[in-house]
Structures are given as structure tokens and as C-alpha cells.
């Protein structure tokens, strides 16, 4: 008998190491909690060991080594016996035949509930696509809002899995690493577990972009070899500087920054590795809060200070409780090297290293719940959850987790923490959702400023509201907090649905009237099943947004009218500027001669990543890949075309010496400008655009106040590079406060 054998998974190598034991874990637990429930940990280990006994890891180790390693990671953070027991058992329900009832009988309801929470999250991660990942994160937020220990166990589980990821397939490694980078590393940072965050980022970076990681690591190794004694020399020098100024120092440590933090700085600042100046960071630990400021004075008195690098997180702590003074200075000659210096007390250092675990009261029954409630961001995530679909929730919470913070104040002195780049609208929603919904203006430090103004540390913000005020769809373009974006988007979608509903109802009434047919609600309800819509409202919306034609509905209810001529149905499209339909097309990936138009919602320019959308009766509309309008086509992926700019789109720039193109032959770039309201300001702005060979085709004031104005300017340019030059030129004009590329 012949045939092809089914490939089998290779047997893992034999394990010849010592038998796994909980003794080291218990010894560490007793070192920080002599009254810990050791019996609970032993019972949990015995149960997990027996349940996992037949199983092996890919490297041949007994499966129990993974939960034991997770528990030991958590013990480093001095967590309670219940958390360690949860870590030991976290895979038992998922991977073995042990039931919840059997587990409850052995270790109690509290630990079983924690294990069950971690198990549900793990099940959702298996083969997760974006939607499942989003739902996974929703479950995680709900779980940690009840007991933050779920997150602590999950982070330790993810950390050990990342450390031992080598045996997995490449696509699986990349997927897990990306999820770790986007969700778990920011969560670790939010609860103050900086060492866990850094290691998760480093391990993920090595999987996602191994070439960049290897290059940076090689350069760091080279620098370490070249100047092995530099860190030690600077460390001793900082200690001496503090002592000579009469500041008592507990310790000074130095380190090189992690490969990912270096890559992030290179990427954010668009600089090469050689241009980075502060890849070394030093930490000075002193006895008291007052000594922190004394040490800062000593450092600033002895080294040139780097402007804009000082941050006081002691007077205004981060939302995760982090406190420290940060500054940047330049070392003395001959090194002339820039370094970062952090100054904190021993207690502040504990919080920085251990985060939420530093204040863990393992003898207090409600510690877990109180720690979850202590973090305002957890409650913000829950509110975003209520206002978002799963995909929107994932997007908005990434915004909430990732960004640095600014600290602003209400007129009564209440501190509001916001991401960097936040606006008065973000501030309003941070105060209360109703304040955000009814916001009509804002005073920043007593001066009325646009709602798109970016707030700075220490700003006092007064929000002006109006009864009956509503969010503006324009706000979504400049807000940076997930909470604000979720509320605005929910309101806009509700308004849009109402508009579609009204338009659809009117279109159907017109269509039935033209054919002399009964279009009453009773008649329409009879055709819902055939039209595959759930309700009359959904039917009206589908007709209003163009997914169903009015004639399609008439024919579905009255098939005898099918022979009637049906007008072609055109899908809605934004304002566009058509190009010549000749064979010298500026876009590749299309059939020669196909009609092309450029979307007025995003104004694509040569140099932008683009995508084509097939519009019935209108050829192809070109959008930028980041255009928000593309979301409305998500249900019809067959209309998307993979296109790019042809060389002809850039033609003529070289021989014209970088000058503008003949009028009508360029592309429209739209920008917003905010500037002082002076008598010659508009002339100054138009002159700056003209100097960059930009041709203004439209200019409109959209907001004018006594001391500032905002305007939209359409500029005809060759390509993206020329528009960037125009923006840079405007930003250099005195009196111009903000210039951004508009997307609508």
C-alpha cells in the first residue's frame, strides 16, 4: 500500500534538568511577607504540577516550568500568595481537564475567579485577527477594572512567553510581538512597571524588525567596548558633584538606553544613530524630596543644561504614580556628550521600578479593587468601551495608552492630565462627557483661543459651554484622546444615521410614487426578509447611504415591475477635480484611459501613499491611504484598487528647477493656518506661500476672533514635497501659531 505519510510534530528533546520545585518561590515570598499563606502556594503548585504532568514544552521542559516562571516573575514584585497561586494555575483550566469546581475546592473561589479571568483572555488570543484582538482587549479592561491582579498575571505570562518565543513559527512570532508592543507594553507602563515595559518592547522589537534591532544592538555593543569606563566615570563624577554641594546621595547608577527607545527617538526625530546625543541615562537616588531639588541645583550648577529637557514629575506625578525629576545636561570637555539625569527618592524609585506592586497591600482584602479604582485611566477606558465598536475601542485605547502627558488645571485648580498634543476639546471631555458635548469655546490662561489649540504644561483652561451645544464633526480631526474621539464619533454616527434615514425615507416615497405602488410601512415590512435588512430603520439607512437603490426596493416588493427601466445608481463621492482621461495617466495600476478623480476629502498629492476606489459611473477616485472616508467602503473591499503614482505625476519638477507648475496642471493641497489677527497678516501669509511657488486657488476664513483667526487655504503644488516646503515657510512667519495639512 502506497501513500504519503501525514507529517507529525517532532518529539521535544528529553529533559534532564532538576525536577521543578516551588521552594525557591516560597522562600522569596516569605522574604517580604513572613505571614503569607504558604499552604495555598504549595497546593496550587501541586495541583498545577499534577495537571500538567503529561505535557512538555517545545524545548522538552515539563510544562509546569512556564507557570512556575510566571509566578517567580511576580514574586520579584513582592505580590501576595493569591496572585502567585493564580500564576501557577493560570493554564490549568485552559490546557487540562481540571474543572472550575475542582479548582475551587482546592484553592478557593477568589483564586479560581482570577484563573478563570486569565483563561478567558488566553482563549480569545488564539489565532486572533484584529476583531478578536479588539474583543480580547475589551475583556481585559473589564477584568482589570474589577481586580488589577488579572493584568499583573497576564503581563508576567506575556513576558515569559516573549522570552521563550523562539520555537514558534515566524508569522506567529511577529503577530504576538506586535500585539505585545501595541497593547501589553503600554499597559505595563501605565501601571508603572517600567522594567517589564522595557523588556517587552525590546523582545518585541527584535521580532518585528530584526534588522533594525540588530543594527542598533551592534552599535551599542561597539560603544560599550569603546568606552567601557565612561558610564562608571560619569557615575562617580555625578556623585562627587552632589557631595561637594552638600547633598547626601544614596546611590548613582548609569545605563545605556534600550534598543527600542533609541530606535523610537531616531524615528520620531528623523535622525541617524550618530546624531543621537543622549543614549546614556543616569539615576541619582537621594533620601528626601527636598534633596531631589538640591541635587538638581548641583547638577545644573556644574553642567550646561539642555533647553526643554527639564520635567518635574514630583510636583505633578504621572497618572501611574511615577515621580522623579528629569533633566538633560552636557558633560564637560573633552567628552561633550549629552546625558539624561533622573533624580528621585528611594520611595519614588520603588514606585518607578515596581509600579502598582510597590503599594500593594497584600494584607488588605480590597487592595486589588482599590488599586484598579485609583487609576483614572482605567475608568476612562471603560467609558471609551461604552461608546465604541470593538475595532474603534482598540484604536482609541491605543491613543489613550501611548502618548506622553501634559498637566493642565481648571479655574478652581483641579489637575487634569492629558496626552501631549491635547486640545481644549480633549480637556473638556476629560472634565466630563457632558462638558465636552456642549463645549463652544475655551479660554487658555484667560485668553480665548481656538478649540484646536494645543495645550502646554501648566495651562489653566476654562471651558465655555452652551445649552443645546453639540459636538462638531471637525473636532475628530484634531482631538488626541480616545475618550474624546469615541464620544465625537458616536454623536457623528448618530447624526449621519438620522440623515441617511430621512434621505432614504424620502427616496423610497418618491420611487414608489413614480411607479404607482404601495410604499406604506406595512408593505415595506413585508419585504424586509427579501432585502436582508433587520428593520425599517435599517432599510431607510441602506437606501440613504447608497447601499440599496430605491428601485431595488420597489422591484423586491413588486417583481412584476422588474421590466421597467432602471436608472444607473451612483454611489456618493466627495468633490473631486478630474484629470484628462488620456493614456499618459499619472496613476499606475489602472486600465489605460480610465477616468480618474481626486477625492476632495483628503486631497492626495504625488508622494502620498494612495488607494483607488471604483465609483460607479465615475471611474476611479484616488484617496490617501489614511483617509477616514475609506472606512465607509469597508463593506465593499472589491471596490479597492492597489494604485500608485506614475513617474509622469512628478514630471517637470527637475527641469523647472523646483518651480511651480502651470496653473491647472498641479494638485491641490489644503492647509489650515492659525495666526494673529493683524492688518497685514493675510498678505504676509500669501507672500510666504508665493515664495515657495505655491499657487493659491482658494482662501477661506473659518474662524475669526479679536486676537486670532483661522483659515483654510487651497494651494496648487507639484507634489507632497512642495506642500511640505510651503508649510515649513508658513511656520517660520512671525505671528503664525499653527500650520497643518487639512484632510477635508
Residues with a catalytic annotation lie at 94-95
Task: Find all residues with CB under 8 Å of 268, minimum gap 6, and list them.
Answer: none
The count of residues in the chain is: 744
Q: 323: closest CA among 300, 350, 297, 298?
A: 350
**DSSP summary character for residue 462:** E
The answer to whether residues 356 and 372 touch, using CB atoms and an 8 Å cutoff, is no
Q: How far apart are CA 511 and CA 1, in angstroms?
A: 69
Grouping H, G, I as helix, E, B as strand and the rest as coil, residue 392 is: helix
What would the 3-class secondary structure string for 498-528 be? Answer: HHHHHHHHHHHHHHHHHCCCCCCHHHHHHCH
Alpha-carbon Rg for the chain in angstroms: 31
The answer to whether residues 575 and 600 touch, using CB atoms and an 8 Å cutoff, is yes
For residue 316, cis peptide bond before it (omega within 30 degrees of 0):
no
The answer to whether residues 384 and 399 touch, using CB atoms and an 8 Å cutoff, is no
Q: How far apart are CA 545 and CA 1, in angstroms?
A: 62
Q: How far apart are CA 370 and CA 557, in angstroms?
A: 59
Task: Find all residues with CB under 8 Å of 658, minimum gap 6, and list them.
Answer: 693, 722
Beta bridge partners of 712: 672, 700
For the chain, how far is it from start to end, CA to CA, in angstroms?
69
731 grid coordinates = 511656520
Phi, psi of 330 (to 5 degrees): -105, 130
**DSSP summary character for residue 566:** -
Amino acid at each position: 500500500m502506497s501513500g504519503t505519510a501525514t507529517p507529525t510534530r517532532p518529539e521535544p528533546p528529553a529533559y534532564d534538568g532538576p525536577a521543578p520545585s516551588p521552594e525557591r518561590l516560597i522562600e522569596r515570598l516569605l522574604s517580604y511577607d513572613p505571614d503569607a499563606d504558604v499552604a495555598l502556594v504549595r497546593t496550587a503548585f501541586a495541583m498545577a504540577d499534577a495537571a500538567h504532568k503529561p505535557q512538555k514544552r517545545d524545548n522538552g521542559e515539563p510544562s509546569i516550568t512556564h507557570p512556575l516562571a510566571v509566578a517567580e516573575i511576580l514574586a520579584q514584585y513582592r505580590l501576595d500568595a493569591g496572585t502567585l497561586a493564580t500564576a501557577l494555575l493560570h493554564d490549568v483550566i485552559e490546557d487540562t481537564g481540571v474543572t472550575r469546581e475542582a479548582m475551587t475546592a482546592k484553592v478557593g473561589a477568589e483564586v479560581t475567579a482570577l484563573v478563570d479571568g486569565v483563561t478567558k483572555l488566553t482563549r480569545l488570543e488564539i489565532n486572533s485577527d484584529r476583531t478578536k484582538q479588539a474583543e480580547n482587549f475589551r475583556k481585559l479592561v473589564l477584568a482589570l477594572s474589577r481586580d488589577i491582579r488579572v493584568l499583573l498575571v497576564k503581563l508576567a505570562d506575556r513576558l515569559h512567553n516573549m522570552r521563550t518565543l523562539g520555537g514558534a513559527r515566524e508569522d506567529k512570532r511577529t503577530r504576538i510581538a506586535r500585539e505585545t508592543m501595541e497593547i501589553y507594553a503600554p499597559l505595563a507602563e501605565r501601571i508603572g512597571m517600567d522594567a517589564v515595559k522595557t523588556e517587552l518592547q525590546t523582545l518585541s522589537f527584535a521580532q518585528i524588525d530584526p534588522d533594525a534591532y540588530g543594527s542598533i544592538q551592534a552599535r551599542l555593543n561597539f560603544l560599550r567596548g569603546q568606552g567601557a569606563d565612561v558610564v562608571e566615570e560619569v557615575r562617580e563624577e555625578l556623585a562627587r558633584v552632589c557631595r561637594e554641594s552638600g547633598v547626601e546621595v544614596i546611590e548613582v547608577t548609569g545605563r545605556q538606553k534600550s534598543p527600542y527607545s533609541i530606535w523610537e527617538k531616531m524615528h520620531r526625530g528623523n535622525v541617524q544613530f550618530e546624531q543621537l546625543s543622549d543614549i546614556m541615562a543616569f539615576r541619582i537616588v537621594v533620601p528626601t524630596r527636598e534633596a531631589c531639588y538640591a541635587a538638581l541645583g548641583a547638577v545644573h550648577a556644574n553642567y550646561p543644561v539642555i533647553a526643554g529637557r527639564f520635567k518635574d514629575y514630583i510636583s505633578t506625578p504621572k497618572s501611574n504614580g511615577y515621580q522623579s525629576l528629569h533633566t538633560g545636561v552636557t558633560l564637560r570637555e573633552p567628552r561633550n556628550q549629552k546625558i539624561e539625569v533622573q533624580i528621585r527618592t528611594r520611595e519614588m524609585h520603588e514606585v518607578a521600578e515596581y509600579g502598582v506592586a510597590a503599594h500593594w497591600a497584600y494584607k488588605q482584602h480590597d487592595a486589588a479593587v482599590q488599586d484598579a479604582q485609583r487609576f483614572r485611566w482605567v475608568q476612562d477606558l471603560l467609558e471609551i468601551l461604552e461608546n465604541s465598536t470593538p475595532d474603534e475601542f482598540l484604536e482609541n485605547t491605543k491613543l489613550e495608552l501611548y502618548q506622553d502627558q501634559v498637566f493642565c488645571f481648571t479655574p478652581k485648580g483641579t489637575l487634569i492630565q492629558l496626552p501631549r498634543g491635547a486640545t481644549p476639546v480633549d480637556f473638556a471631555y476629560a472634565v466630563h462627557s457632558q462638558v465636552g458635548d456642549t463645549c463652544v469655546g475655551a479660554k487658555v490662561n484667560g485668553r480665548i483661543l481656538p478649540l484646536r489649540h494645543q495645550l502646554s504644561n501648566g495651562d489653566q483652561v476654562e471651558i465655555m459651554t452652551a445649552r443645546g451645544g453639540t459636538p462638531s464633526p471637525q473636532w475628530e480631526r484634531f482631538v488626541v484622546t480616545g475618550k474624546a474621539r469615541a464620544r465625537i464619533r458616536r454623536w457623528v454616527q448618530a447624526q449621519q444615521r438620522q440623515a441617511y434615514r430621512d434621505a432614504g425615507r424620502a427616496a423610497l416615497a418618491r420611487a414608489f410614487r413614480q411607479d404607482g405602488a404601495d410604499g406604506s410601512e406595512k408593505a415595506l415590512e413585508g419585504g424586509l426578509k427579501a432585502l436582508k435588512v433587520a428593520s425599517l430603520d435599517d432599510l431607510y439607512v441602506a437606501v440613504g447611504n447608497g447601499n440599496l437603490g430605491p428601485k431595488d426596493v420597489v422591484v423586491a416588493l413588486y417583481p412584476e415591475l422588474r421590466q421597467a427601466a432602471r436608472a444607473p445608481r451612483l454611489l456618493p463621492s466627495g468633490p473631486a477635480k478630474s484629470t484628462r482621461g488620456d493614456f499618459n495617466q499619472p496613476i499606475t495600476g489602472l486600465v489605460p484611459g480610465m477616468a480618474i478623480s481626486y477625492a476632495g476629502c483628503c486631497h492626495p498629492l504625488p508622494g502620498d501613499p494612495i488607494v483607488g476606489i471604483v465609483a460607479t459611473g465615475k471611474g476611479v477616485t484616488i484617496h490617501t491611504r489614511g483617509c477616514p472616508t475609506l472606512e465607509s467602503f469597508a463593506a465593499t473591499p472589491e471596490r479597492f484598487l492597489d494604485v500608485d503614482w506614475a513617474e509622469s505625476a512628478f514630471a517637470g519638477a527637475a527641469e523647472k528647477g523646483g518651480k511651480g507648475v502651470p496653473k491647472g496642471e498641479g494638485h491641490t493641497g489644503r492647509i489650515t493656518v492659525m495666526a494673529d489677527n493683524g492688518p497685514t497678516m493675510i498678505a504676509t501669509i500669501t507672500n510666504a506661500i508665493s515664495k515657495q511657488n505655491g499657487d493659491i486657488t482658494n482662501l477661506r476664513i473659518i474662524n475669526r476672533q479679536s486676537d486670532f483667526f483661522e483659515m483654510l487655504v487651497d494651494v496648487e503644488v507639484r507634489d507632497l514635497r512642495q506642500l511640505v516646503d510651503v508649510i515649513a515657510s508658513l511656520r517660520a512667519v512671525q505671528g503664525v501659531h499653527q500650520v497643518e495639512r487639512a484632510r477635508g
